[in-house]
C-alpha cells in the first residue's frame, strides 16, 4: 500500500475569548470569534493548469496528496471564491517543489478589483503561514517569478478568517442546575448525594442527567452511591488533590443483586479512602472508572457476587487488590494495581503495572506490557478560581498512570471561556455557530434534540459532555460528524437514535480521506451509542470511523435488547461499528446486538485491545440471520481486502432467546493472511440459547449444551 501524505498543517487559531463561570465567579465578558478555515471546498479558478490532473480545485480540497500546478510561464495565478465577504486573518500556502520566488496575496470583494494584502520577492517555498488583514470574498495568489523551471504548484491554498455580522456567542458561563459543585465546607453533601441517587438508582431510561463536581480538598464520611446518568468527578489537576474519606459506590440492589444492567455512569479524578478498606464498583458497560486513586481495594462485583458483564478502568491507581469475582470480561488500561483476583472468561490488561501474567485461557488473563498509543480523556478542573479543561498529551507505549510520581501531567489547558457551554434547549444551528466561531463545546447534563448534524470541522476542537449529556438526532440526520482535521477530542456523551432512521449516528472524518493524522489523532472516549431502549430508535450504522489514526478508547455501541421501542424490526440497526480508516486503534470496544455485523473493519493496520459482544437476542429464526451460505453474521468481521490487522482479548456471546435452536457459524471472520493475527479469542453460548459452530472462520471447537463454557483460541492463524 503506498504511503499516505504527511499531515496537513494545523493553522494557528487566534482566540480572544474572555468569560467567567457565572455560577461561581462574578461578572462575564462576551467572547470574540476565532478564525476558521473558509476556503476548503470553495470554487477555485486559475490562469492555467499543467494538465487535467492538477486543477485549481485540488488546492482547496483539504487533501495534501493533490495539487494545482500551472503552465511553465510567468505570471500565473490561482483564486478562491469564499462565497461571501469575510474578515480575513491568515493565508497558508503549502508549496510543492515548484514554488514562487515572487508573488502577491490579493483581495477582492467583486472578483475584478484587487488590493494587495501581502507581497514578497524572496519566497522560500515549503509551508508559508502569512498573517493578513482585510475583508474580501475573493482571495488570489498572483505569482510573478518562479523559483524553478517548472510552473507554480500548490498542494493546499488555505484562507482563514471569520464570517457573519451577528454578535459572537459568549464562552464560559453557567453550568446549570444539574451540575452540582461541592467544596469541603458545603453543608448537606450526603443528603444531596442521596437525593440524586434515589431518583436515578433505577431510572435506566429516564431523562435525568447529573454531574457532581468536588473542589480540591478533603471530604469525610461520605458514601456517594452512583445511579444512572450520574457522573462524579474531582476538580483537581491530580486525583490526589480531592480526597474522599469514604466510598463511591455502585451496587445492584435495585436489580436484585444482578449488576448486568448497571450502565451509563462514571467516576473520575478522585482519591478514595474506603471506609472498610475496599470500594465497590459493580458495573457493566458504559461505566468508566478513570483517573481514580483507591487507597485500598476495589470490588467489581455486586453484594452477594451476582452477575456482572464487563467494564473499564483507565489511568487509575488501586493500592490494594482488585476483586474481579463475577465479572465476565474486564479491560484495564495504563494503570497501577496492587493485585488482581479471579477471572471468569477474559480479563484484559494493557500498560498496567501489577497486572497478572499472560495466562489465557487458564487463568483467563490477556496481558500486554504497554498500550501502543493512548491519550487520556479531557477533564474539567479548577486552576485557582478559574475553570479550565485539561487536554492530556498523547503517549506511545504507555505503562502506568499519566499522573503521580511528583511530575506534572503532560498536556495543555483550555480556559472555560474558550468553550461554548451548551445547555438544554440549544439548537444544532447555535452549536455549529459556536464551533465555526472557534469555541470548543461543553455539553451540560441534559437531553439535546438536534434537527441537523453537529459539524466539528476545526482542528483541535474539544467536545466534552458532563453527566452523560445525550444527543438525539431528529428527522434521520447524523448526530455528529468530525471533519478531516487533526486532534479533535470527543468525550463523555451519549448519542441516542431517533425514531426516523439515521444512516449513521456518529461519523469521524469523510469517506475516502487520505490525510495522515498520526501526529495528532482524533480521540473518541466514553462516547456511547444507543439504538432503542429509551424509545423507538433506528440507524443503519452506529459509528463510522473514516479518519486515519483515530483512537476509540472505551465505547459501548448498543442496539437495545430491553426497554421501550425494542424488536427485531422496531429498533432495526444492521451495523454497530464500521472502520474504513487506516491505523485505527480501539481500546475497550463494547458492541452488542446489531442485526447483522456488530463490527466491520475495512481499514488497514487496525488494532483492537479488548472486545466484548453479544449477538442480537431477538433474532426470530435462523433465516433472519442467514448471511448467504453462512449461518449468521460474525460479531467482528475483517474485510477480505485487509492485509494487516491484530486483536487481543476478544469475546462474543450468543443468547438467542426467541429461537434457541439458532446456529451461529462463528464469532469472528477474517482473511487468512500472515499480517492478520488474533490473540485470545472466545465464543460462549449463554445457557445453551443458540450455539456457535466455530470461534473464527472454520477454526475452533463448537459450543454445546447449557453449561455456558467458552470455546477458546489462543492464537490465529
DSSP, residue by residue, 410-446: SEEEEEGGGEEEE-TT--HHHHHHHHHHT-EEEEPSS
Helix (H) or strand (E) holding 318: strand 317-323
Q: Which residues pair with 599 in a beta bridge?
A: 577, 636
**Taking Cα atoms as reference points, which of 330, 299, 260, 327 lies closest to residue 558?**
260
Please give the Cα distance from 425 to 186 (Å, whole number).
30
Of the candidates 50, 614, 665, 693, the residue annotated as catalytic is: 614
Residues 40, 60: contact at Cβ < 8 Å?
yes
Residues 391, 398: contact at Cβ < 8 Å?
no
Q: Which residues pair with 640 in a beta bridge?
A: none
* Chain CA centroid to CA 503, Å: 19
**Taking Cα atoms as reference points, which of 346, 368, 360 lies closest to residue 653?**
346
Please give the Cα distance from 648 to 348 (Å, whole number).
8
Please give the Cα distance from 321 to 151 (Å, whole number).
68
Q: Which residue has the cell 448519542?
A: 495
DSSP, residue by residue, 655-697: --SS-TT-EES-SEE----TTEEEEEEEEEESTTSSEES-SBT
Q: Which residue has the cell 460528524?
A: 481
Residue 678, C-alpha cell as written in the block = 488474533
Q: For the chain, what's the residue count?
A: 717
Indicate the DSSP class of residue 190.
Answer: H
Residue 50, C-alpha cell as written in the block = 499543467
Is 693 noted as a catalytic residue in this protein? no
Give me Rg for the CA atoms of the chain: 27
DSSP3 helix / strand / coil % (the chain, rounded to 5): 5, 45, 50
Task: Cite the active site residues.
Answer: 614
Amino acid at each position: 500500500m503506498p504511503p499516505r501524505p504527511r499531515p496537513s498543517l494545523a493553522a494557528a487559531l487566534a482566540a480572544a475569548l474572555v468569560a467567567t463561570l457565572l455560577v461561581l465567579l462574578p461578572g462575564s465578558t462576551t467572547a470574540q470569534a476565532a478564525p476558521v478555515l473558509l476556503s476548503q471546498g470553495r470554487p477555485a479558478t486559475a490562469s492555467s493548469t499543467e494538465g487535467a490532473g492538477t486543477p485549481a480545485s485540488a488546492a482547496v480540497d483539504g487533501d495534501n496528496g493533490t495539487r494545482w500546478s500551472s503552465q511553465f510561464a510567468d505570471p500565473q495565478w490561482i483564486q478562491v471564491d469564499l462565497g461571501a465577504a469575510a474578515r480575513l486573518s491568515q493565508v497558508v500556502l503549502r508549496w510543492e517543489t515548484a514554488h514562487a520566488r515572487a508573488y502577491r496575496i490579493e483581495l477582492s470583494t467583486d472578483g475584478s478589483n484587487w488590493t494587495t494584502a501581502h507581497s514578497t520577492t524572496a519566497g522560500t517555498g515549503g509551508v508559508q503561514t502569512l498573517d493578513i488583514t482585510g475583508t474580501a470574498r475573493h482571495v488570489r495568489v498572483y505569482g510573478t517569478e518562479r523559483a524553478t523551471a517548472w510552473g507554480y504548484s500548490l498542494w493546499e491554498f488555505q484562507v482563514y478568517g471569520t464570517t457573519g455580522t451577528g454578535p459572537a456567542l459568549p464562552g464560559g458561563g453557567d453550568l446549570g442546575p444539574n451540575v452540582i459543585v461541592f467544596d469541603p465546607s458545603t453543608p448537606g453533601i450526603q443528603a444531596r448525594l442521596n437525593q440524586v441517587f434515589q431518583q436515578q438508582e433505577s431510572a435506566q431510561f429516564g431523562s435525568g442527567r447529573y454531574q457532581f463536581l468536588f473542589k480540591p480538598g478533603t471530604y469525610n464520611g461520605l458514601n456517594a452511591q452512583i445511579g444512572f446518568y450520574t457522573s462524579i468527578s474531582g476538580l483537581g489537576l491530580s486525583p490526589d488533590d480531592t480526597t474522599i474519606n469514604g466510598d463511591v459506590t455502585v451496587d445492584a440492589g435495585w436489580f436484585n443483586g444482578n449488576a448486568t444492567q448497571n450502565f451509563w455512569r462514571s467516576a473520575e479524578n478522585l482519591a478514595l479512602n474506603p471506609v472498610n478498606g475496599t470500594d465497590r464498583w459493580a458495573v457493566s458497560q458504559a461505566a468508566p472508572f478513570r483517573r481514580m486513586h483507591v487507597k485500598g481495594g476495589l470490588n467489581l462485583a455486586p453484594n452477594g457476587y451476582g452477575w456482572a458483564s464487563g467494564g473499564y478502568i483507565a489511568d487509575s491507581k488501586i493500592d490494594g487488590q482488585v476483586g474481579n469475582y463475577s465479572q465476565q470480561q474486564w479491560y484495564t488500561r495504563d494503570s497501577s494495581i496492587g493485585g488482581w483476583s479471579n477471572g471468569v472468561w477474559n480479563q484484559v490488561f494493557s500498560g498496567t503495572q501489577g497486572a497478572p501474567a499472560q495466562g489465557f485461557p487458564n487463568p483467563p488473563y490477556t496481558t500486554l506490557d504497554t498500550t501502543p498509543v493512548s491519550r487520556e480523556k479531557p477533564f474539567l478542573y479548577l486552576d485557582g478560581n478559574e475553570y479550565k479543561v485539561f487536554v492530556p498529551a498523547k503517549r506511545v507505549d504507555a505503562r502506568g498512570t499519566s499522573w503521580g510520581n511528583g511530575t506534572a501531567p503532560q498536556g495543555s489547558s483550555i480556559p472555560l471561556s474558550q468553550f461554548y457551554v451548551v445547555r438544554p434547549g440549544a439548537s444544532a444551528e447555535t452549536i455549529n455557530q459556536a464551533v465555526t466561531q472557534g469555541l470548543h463545546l461543553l455539553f451540560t447534563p441534559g437531553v439535546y434534540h438536534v434537527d441537523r448534524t453537529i459539524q466539528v470541522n476545526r482542528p483541535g476542537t474539544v467536545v466534552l459532555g458532563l453527566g452523560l449529556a445525550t444527543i438525539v438526532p431528529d428527522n434521520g440526520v447524523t448526530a455528529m460528524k468530525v471533519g478531516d482535521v487533526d486532534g479533535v477530542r470527543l468525550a463523555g456523551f451519549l448519542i441516542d437514535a431517533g425514531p426516523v432512521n439515521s444512516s449513521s449516528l456518529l461519523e469521524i472524518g469523510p469517506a475516502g480521506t487520505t490525510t495522515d493524522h498520526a501526529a495528532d489523532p482524533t480521540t473518541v472516549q466514553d462516547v456511547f451509542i444507543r439504538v432503542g431502549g429509551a424509545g423507538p430508535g433506528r440507524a443503519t450504522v452506529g459509528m463510522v470511523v473514516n479518519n486515519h489514526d483515530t483512537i476509540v478508547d472505551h465505547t459501548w455501541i448498543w442496539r437495545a435488547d430491553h426497554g421501550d421501542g425494542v424488536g427485531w424490526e422496531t429498533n432495526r440497526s444492521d451495523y454497530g461499528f464500521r472502520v474504513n480508516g487506516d491505523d485505527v486503534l480501539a481500546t475497550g470496544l463494547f458492541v452488542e446486538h446489531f442485526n447483522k455485523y456488530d463490527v466491520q473493519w475495512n481499514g488497514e493496520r487496525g488494532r483492537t485491545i479488548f472486545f466484548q459482544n453479544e449477538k442480537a437476542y431477538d433474532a426470530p429464526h435462523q433465516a433472519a440471520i442467514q448471511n448467504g451460505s453462512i449461518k449468521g453474521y460474525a460479531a467482528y468481521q475483517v474485510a477480505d481486502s485487509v492485509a494487516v490487522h491484530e486483536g487481543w482479548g476478544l469475546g462474543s456471546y450468543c443468547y438467542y432467546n426467541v429461537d434457541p435452536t439458532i446456529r451461529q457459524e462463528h464469532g469472528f471472520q477474517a482473511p487468512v493472511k500472515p499480517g492478520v493475527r488474533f490473540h485470545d479469542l472466545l465464543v460462549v453460548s449463554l445457557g445453551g440459547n443458540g450455539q456457535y459452530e466455530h470461534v473464527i472462520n472454520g477454526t475452533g471447537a463448537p459450543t454445546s449444551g447449557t453449561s455456558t463454557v467458552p470455546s477458546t483460541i489462543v492464537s490465529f492463524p
